[in-house]
Amino acid sequence: ASSRLQHEYVPSAHLSAACTCLAWAPVGARQPPSKDGPQRKKRKSEVGEVDKQLDILAIGTAVGSILLYSTVKGELQSKLDGGHDSRINCVRWHQDSCCLYSCSDDKHIVEWNTQTCKVKCKWKGDNSSVTCLCISPDGKMLLSAGRTIKLWDLETKEVYRHFTGHATSVSSLMFTTVKPMNESKPFDGITGLYFLSGAIHDRLLSVWYIRSDRKEKNAVMSFTVTDEPTFVDLTVSEVKEEPVKLAVVCRDGQLHIFEHILNGYCKKPLTSNCTIQIATPGNDGDSTPKPVPILAAAFCTDKQSLLLVYGNTLQPIIEKVSLNTSESHICLVRDIQKVLSLKTDAALTKVKTPVVNSDTKVLVPGIPGHSTALKTPASGKEKKKSKRKPGETEESIEERLGALDIDVSKVKTPGGLPQTDSFAVLLVQGLESNDAEILNKVLNTRKENIVKNTVARMPIHAVIPLLHELTKRLQGNPYSASLMVRWLKSVFTLHASYLSTLPDLIPQLGMLYQLMESRVKTLQKLCRLHGRLFILVTQVAASQTVQDVPEVNQTAKLVYEDDSSEEEGSDDEMIADKDSDENWDEDEEKEEQSDEQDMTVEKEINGDSDLEPENESEEE
């Protein structure tokens, strides 16, 4: 009521095992539940109006353990271990109090006995992490969700129904009805009930209907909000005509209120009946009103008024607001500054400027060899300046450096080039900061003595990182590999004794060894290939030189014809000769070709038939 902090508990391992989720145990946690008592699950939101009996709080942690904390005693009651080995996403108490259900990123759901602190049952809930749980009103069924939603029978631990769920991991699950709408059929405790689900990065809350058959897996209706839902609360409808009231707090700090009678399928997403926002009045200093985020909201027992939690998470303000749903948009003006009493101290610097005499010489840190023109401060004014007023801005580092008045152009490094000792320092710096520019500068040196000296002067702890860096660079192009081999050689020769003392040397150098092996293996094949390519290239070059020689003219300058050959020639040849005689002047080339043909024909005839000596001599 006073929105003051009532109780605070920090687990001993809150840094290593951060709290991820929590749930209040039902009121009758110690005694067995009465038969005629309310069968409705207690929600986190009812913390404000419960009596002192509400005591045990189950807290899930990021490492997989669950803490049971007693708020009345103010101490840790017990710790549940050994069920999960990953972050716990949701814890839910069963109505019969002794049982606690938890789900985790390790894909499992665990049923705990809180009296003995032992695991009662553990089973795989999904193929990915299970993010949300909800127990049915009669306590016989359990809803679990990762992305898809499953309804489990708690006796047999088997899936009773599947639902398609959301594209992202589900963050909230809750039943919206206690009894089915059509009361004609006998009620088995689950069929005919509606439940609601919301997921991260999803602006739609879906409502699902549990049917008697397994056919329908999709949502029957959906509610649309402005941003991802962070906190959901609802009034459960117990009578047929009673609408379900739903309060959804979004990440953008708005609260949406829906009022709807759940009566079957609805195609379009339903928009909110009322949107509530909170803002500052913005009248004093600041003229613009600023939005105040709503952190959570819960319905009171009368179902007509809401408890709103808004403001800062460190010091939230809780306020009871009665609903007026006739307006579609309500903006509540609240001045938080008056409620929040966070003191902000004016920043004061502890720097004091020393009083300096005119004849003293002051050495200032900087580049060696430079001289700074020191300005002696006028004591009174400077002292006033050192204590900065809250409104003033501090001098930037650039201005301060400018005040030092260092002329970089005058400062020269002796000898021009960096020396080997500076190379060693640069190399270590480059390896520690993983700066490619520095490493390239150092490792691309070709001089053997610089490489040796640098490796000799580098500290022992940098040897293994250097080896890893060289291994990485050896896999690059051959040019860099040839440079890296020099470094490798000097590392192995100079630091062999240190390397031999390392127990895990073989796995450390495994990559390098395999690299060398693979390169050496291919050497023989590459040599063969090189040889073959060399032969091919030389042959190609030789053939080109042959082609370059000028061609000899093959046509005969003079043709001598025999009488005997003319007689033996065929009639066709005779006709051809007559023709060629007539066209002598016109076509010289044709005649030469035909004469050549005559010659070849004569040779064939004479070579085969004329075996007489005279003819042979004539032929010769």
pLDDT of residue 107 exceeding 50: yes
**Residue 166 confidence (pLDDT):** 92
The average confidence (pLDDT) of the chain is 79
Could you read off the pLDDT of 235-256 as tens digits, one per residue? Answer: 887 777 788 899 999 999 999 9
pLDDT of residue 1 exceeding 80: no
pLDDT of residue 210 exceeding 50: yes
**Residue 27 confidence (pLDDT):** 79
pTM: 0.53
**Structure tokens given for 224:** 């649309």
**Residue 42 confidence (pLDDT):** 42
Residue 273 neighbours by CB under 8 Å, 6+ apart: 257, 258, 259, 325, 328
- Which DSSP letter does residue 555 get? S
pLDDT of residue 360 exceeding 90: no
**Residue 493 confidence (pLDDT):** 92
**Residue 604 confidence (pLDDT):** 52
Of the two residues 239 and 531, the one the predictor is more confident about is 531
How far apart, in whole angstroms, are the C-alpha atoms of residue 529 and residue 171?
64
pLDDT of residue 198 exceeding 50: yes
pLDDT of residue 151 exceeding 90: yes
pLDDT of residue 386 exceeding 50: no
pLDDT of residue 367 exceeding 70: no
pLDDT winner (highest mean) among 351-360, 543-552, 609-618: 543-552
Contact 565, 598 (CB under 8 A): yes
Could you read off the pLDDT of 273-323 as tens digits, one per residue? Answer: 899 999 888 776 656 888 889 999 999 888 888 999 998 888 888 988 888
Least confident of 162-176, 435-449, 583-597: 583-597
**Residue 591 confidence (pLDDT):** 54
**Residue 222 confidence (pLDDT):** 93
pLDDT of residue 343 exceeding 60: no
Of the two residues 592 and 221, the one the predictor is more confident about is 221
**Residue 400 confidence (pLDDT):** 79
pLDDT winner (highest mean) among 61-65, 179-183, 329-333: 61-65
pLDDT of residue 141 exceeding 60: yes
Question: SS3 string of 396-419?
Answer: CHHHHHHHHCCCHHHCCCCCCCCC
**Structure tokens given for 610:** 């004329």
φ/ψ of 151, rounded to 5, equals -110, 120
Residue of 524, 448, 454, 435 whose CA lies nearest to 486: 448
pLDDT winner (highest mean) among 12-26, 161-175, 329-343: 161-175
**Residue 131 confidence (pLDDT):** 94
Contact 157, 117 (CB under 8 A): no
pLDDT of residue 134 exceeding 90: yes
**Structure tokens given for 516:** 């060398």
Above pLDDT 90, what percent of the chain?
Answer: 27
**Residue 473 confidence (pLDDT):** 86
pLDDT of residue 606 exceeding 70: no
DSSP string, 229-296: EEEEEEEPB-STTPPEEEEEEETTS-EEEEEE---S---SPBPPSEEEEEE----SS--S--EE-EEE
Largest alpha-carbon pair distance within the chain?
Answer: 149
How far apart, in whole angstroms, are the C-alpha atoms of residue 108 and residue 102?
9
- How buried is 59 (Cβ within 10 angstroms: 0-12 exposed, 13-18 middle, 19+ buried)? buried
Contact 93, 55 (CB under 8 A): no
Contact 195, 210 (CB under 8 A): yes
Q: What is the mean pLDDT of residues 568-581?
A: 55
**Residue 384 confidence (pLDDT):** 44
Give start and end residues of each alpha helix (H) in 335-392.
336-339, 379-386
- Angle in degrees, CA 315, 316, 317, rounded to 5: 125
φ/ψ of 499, rounded to 5, equals -65, -35
Q: Is residue 580 helix, strand or coil?
A: helix
Could you read off the pLDDT of 50-77 as tens digits, one per residue? Answer: 445 678 899 999 999 999 999 888 889 8
pLDDT of residue 225 exceeding 60: yes
Residue of 317, 44, 29 whose CA lies nearest to 172: 44
Above pLDDT 70, what percent of the chain?
Answer: 74
Of the two residues 465 and 33, the one the predictor is more confident about is 465
**Structure tokens given for 303:** 């179902």
pLDDT of residue 419 exceeding 70: no
φ/ψ of 284, rounded to 5, equals -75, -170
How far apart, in whole angstroms, are the C-alpha atoms of residue 388 and residue 180?
71
CA 231 → CA 26, 49, 309, 432, 471, distances in Å?
Answer: 21, 18, 11, 45, 52
How far apart, in whole angstroms, are the C-alpha atoms of residue 55 and residue 69?
8
How far apart, in whole angstroms, are the C-alpha atoms of residue 561 and residue 619?
11
Q: What is the mean pLDDT of residues 447-453?
A: 89
Q: Is the dihedral of CA 122, 126, 128, 134 positive or negative?
A: negative
Interior/surface letters 567-582, b for 16+ CB within 10 angstroms, e for the rest: eebeeebeebbeebee
Could you read off the pLDDT of 478-530 as tens digits, one per residue? Answer: 778 888 888 999 999 999 888 888 888 888 888 888 888 888 888 888 999 99
In sequence order, what are the beta bridge partners of 80? 66
How far apart, in whole angstroms, are the C-alpha atoms of residue 302 and residue 319?
16
pLDDT winner (highest mean) among 260-264, 577-581, 587-591: 260-264
**Residue 172 confidence (pLDDT):** 93
Residue 501 neighbours by CB under 8 Å, 6+ apart: none
Locate the DSSP E strands across 178-243.
194-199, 204-209, 221-224, 229-235
- Angle in degrees, CA 527, 529, 533, rounded to 5: 115
Q: What is the mean pLDDT of residues 118-143?
A: 92
Residue of 603, 618, 556, 566 whose CA lies nearest to 580: 566
How far apart, in whole angstroms, are the C-alpha atoms of residue 177 and residue 184?
17
Residue 37 binned pLDDT confidence (cut-offs 50, 70, 90): very low
Q: What is the mean pLDDT of residues 401-413?
A: 60
Cα 571 to chain centroid distance, Å, stands at 97
Residue 542 binned pLDDT confidence (cut-offs 50, 70, 90): very high
**Residue 593 confidence (pLDDT):** 61
Of the two residues 47 and 323, the one the predictor is more confident about is 323
Q: What is the mean pLDDT of residues 132-143?
A: 91
**Structure tokens given for 561:** 């014809």
How far apart, in whole angstroms, are the C-alpha atoms of residue 178 and residue 46?
18
